[in-house]
Structure 1
Amino acid sequence: MERPTPRALAAGLISLLAVAATSLVAGPASAATGTAEPCALPRTDAHHSLGLDDWNGAYPRPDRALDAVMVFLSFPDSRPLTTPAELAADYFPATTRFFQRASYGKFTLRPHPERRWIRMPRPSSAYGIQRDWADDRRSAYLRDAIDAANPRVDFSRYDIVYLVADPDAPGVDSDATKVVNFDRPLRADGTDIRRVVTVFEHHPPDHNVLAHETGHVFDLPDLYHRPSDGKGDWDTYVGDWDVMGSQFGLAPDLFGWHKWKLGWLDDRQVVCVQSSRVLTLEPMSSVPVRGASMGTRLAVIRTGEGTAVGIEARSATGNDGTTCSEGVLLYRIRNETPSGGGPVDVLDTHPGTDACWDRSVYPPLADAPLRVGETYSVPGGHATVEVADRTPSGAWTVRITTGT
């Protein structure tokens, strides 16, 4: 998988950033509406760049229904203890529902699981399956899998390919679950296969793991930090916030910046803040009733040529139903930072405290959102953000003062 299970945490994060609970500050705010475009960072050559001025055509964009085939692979050295139907039920319909909620109904992932095992030509132990997989052995596995499946699967019908290995085979390592991008596409049924999701999960699998991996299929980056020695905390960048950081997070809904990139938020729901103003932010995870306005979901402050700060409301609704805390979340975005290098980091507006040690993947960031009556100064003197109140409908009123 893309990152390991949560561990007990021994120490809190110490930050120099300050937050103060204050009375509301009176003063004028600009009523100019502006557009979102000035805050749309340009896409760079970084792997899974978070620039979003255009779409990388090498990836399918999930702004419509997409079809995914699930191929179940068995091996000569092991007799499966589960059925393809049981393994398919581990992931669907849960993954489809996750994306339907996250996209506000704009995207549907349609799974097409094969009904029978497809036998690989070699024992599972022959492929050396592990997290940091030798290229030659991984390539052999992928070629064998596509060749074995091709007589029964018409790959030209599908947008996404999941290769699901027998979880009980002796050579299968659950830590190897990941998306593989091909330098040269594999060819089958007259179509190019540019990437596949290789699934080696236990039965039952880790929570939201397929949503995380599928996010990579849509050009989203890893948001966790992988220590160089493999030890220590993996979740120091974003904690529980966003499934691309941790599939175990308490608030796994995607950041508004990701939703803007994917086309689930458009410029009507995004405000580029260029002067002081007051905004009402609808919770990112709340799905509006049919016919109702989406409202403003994301505010962005451009802080440099390739950097910005995102501001959004997070509440215990939808995909965030198990969140540890509610409020207004702030995070930095960098378009030149590659996947796994920290392209997003959540700003800890309560650096001296933490929350939910028994549930959070990284308690120091579990209480990161600002609450009503609190003010936070964005690093670099770009702005202050004050949460004025919460409306009866559950939205958050935010006063942003620029140039301070």
Structure 2
Amino acid sequence: MRSTAAALTSLMALATTSLVAGPAEARTSSSSCALPRSPAHHSLGLDTWNTSYPKPDDGLDAVMVFLSFPDAVPRSSPARLAADHFPATSEFFERASYGKFTLRPHPRRDWVRMPKPSTAYGISRDWKPSHRSAYLRDALSAADRKVDFSRYDIVYLVADPDAPGVDSDATKVVNFERPMTYDDTEVRRVVTVFEQHPPDRNVLAHETGHVFDLPDLYHRPTDGKGDWDTYVGDWDVMGSQFGMAPDLFAWHKWKLGWLDSRAVRCVTRPELLTLEPVGAAPMPGGSLGTRLAVVRTGADTALAIEARSATGNDGTTCTEGVLLYRVRADAASGGGPVEVVDTHPRTGACWDRSVYPQLADAPLGVGETFTLAGASGERTRIEVADRTRTGAWTVKITTA
């Protein structure tokens, strides 16, 4: 499939076809491929926005509160811990959103003293609800004496990483069943940060994605011993914060409002189109071009097609090409809402760096073709014809 002969055959087939992309007004509206939002936690349906989450369509303010404990003397300053995450996290979202969203951090300069030792809260990944509630109640009550919560959209509670009861595996977003009220403001969720110094790479970008209603894309093994990265590998920070290509999928960017209808193509008939890399900056004049092609495959499912290259947040990727992935709007966070299609199932790549080498070579390269069969017998054929001088990818999509 990767041979020169295959590439020539592919290009000749495209050269002889009469297929051309029609004018913008003749294209099928992208809204016809916008899957409906389901009751699933962090559903990837995007016909409506869940208004209990802040939408990152302009700018949001985030306060960082640093918590110390009676059983430890902090060895790092709040300023040093804040620098572990910012400006890197803001820069990640600046690039991911094409400059449309600004995350403004407001780190406190002092420590907020917790009333109990760190070991009293039983901090762990699978936290007992009673211990977690006690921690959050104490932390927010202690912080309320110094913080005006009405000024902020996001709350990061950063624990002293050197306290003996702090477990770095417990960093997560906590959603309250009932909002807590401080300064006449409802606090619906907080990010509890228990990272060591220095922290995991991109960890706060991952957790902040949950604040914006994005799901976990990793697969948590039932016994805790299997591989976590079988669904998406390196290809999205919501799958792994250690990924080589951690930029958000174009589907996520569509959901968050960073891609509009002009950047998304709903494919219902054979089309030849040019895909700009997801991580590339806007073109001169601000245009994004086409960043996402979508084939609707069911009431709650779709096939997404996008280009990935070593630019922007994906600057450390070791493979480039056209990436295919299935989207399920009815799947909950952690339940496989996105699954990358491995177009090279017999090979892998980047064994020394990838979180899941089997998917590191998932994208299609120039001259390659891949066909997917649907549950009802429908077939979608994706053929990568060429790469332009500017780094975009020419792709032929045929549905039948």
TM-superposed CA distance for 1:293, in Å, is: 1.7
Q: 1:369 aligns with which of 363, 374, 386?
A: 363
Q: How many positions carry a matched residue from both structures?
A: 386
CA RMSD of aligned residues (A): 1.2
Taking a change above 3 Å as real, the CA distance of residues 142 and 290 of structure 1, as seen in their structure-2 partners, is farther
The separation in 2 between residues aligned to 1:290 and 1:206, in whole angstroms, is: 35
Alignment of 1:192 onto 2:186: yes
TM-superposed CA distance for 1:35, in Å, is: 1.3
The separation in 1 between residues aligned to 2:166 and 2:2, in whole angstroms, is: 47
The separation in 2 between residues aligned to 1:56 and 1:98, in whole angstroms, is: 23
The separation in 2 between residues aligned to 1:81 and 1:339, in whole angstroms, is: 36
TM-superposed CA distance for 1:232, in Å, is: 1.4
TM-superposed CA distance for 1:151, in Å, is: 1.0
Q: 2:17 aligns with which of 23, 27, 34?
A: 27
Partner of 1:53: 47
Structure 1's unaligned 5+ residue stretches are 1-17
Alignment of 1:94 onto 2:88: yes
Alignment of 1:137 onto 2:137: no
CA displacement 1:203-258 (0-9 Å, x = unmatched): 00000000000000000000000000000110000000000000000000000000
Structure 1 stretch displaced more, 28-37 or 167-176: 28-37
Structure 2's unaligned 5+ residue stretches are none
CA displacement 1:93-144 (0-9 Å, x = unmatched): 0000000000000000000000000000000000000000000010000000
The separation in 1 between residues aligned to 2:91 and 2:285, in whole angstroms, is: 20
Alignment of 1:106 onto 2:103: no
Partner of 2:243: 249
Q: Where does 1:116-265 land on structure 2 (aligned, <5 Å)?
A: 116-265=110-259
The one-letter amino acid paired with 1:136 is S
Alignment of 1:399 onto 2:396: yes
TM-superposed CA distance for 1:292, in Å, is: 3.6
Taking a change above 3 Å as real, the CA distance of residues 225 and 189 of structure 1, as seen in their structure-2 partners, is same
The separation in 2 between residues aligned to 1:277 and 1:203, in whole angstroms, is: 50
Q: 1:64 aligns with which of 35, 58, 71?
A: 58
Q: What secondary structure sits across from 1:378 in the alignment?
A: strand
The one-letter amino acid paired with 1:246 is S
The separation in 1 between residues aligned to 2:40 and 2:391, in whole angstroms, is: 37
The separation in 2 between residues aligned to 1:231 and 1:85, in whole angstroms, is: 36
The separation in 2 between residues aligned to 1:225 and 1:177, in whole angstroms, is: 17
The separation in 1 between residues aligned to 2:2 and 2:42, in whole angstroms, is: 32
Q: 2:273 aligns with which of 268, 276, 279?
A: 279
Alignment of 1:384 onto 2:381: yes
The one-letter amino acid paired with 2:380 is A
Moved over 6 A (4+): none
Q: What secondary structure sits across from 2:157 in the alignment?
A: strand
Conserved 8 A contact 1:308-1:334:
yes
Partner of 1:9: none
User: TM-score by structure 2 length?
Assistant: 0.95
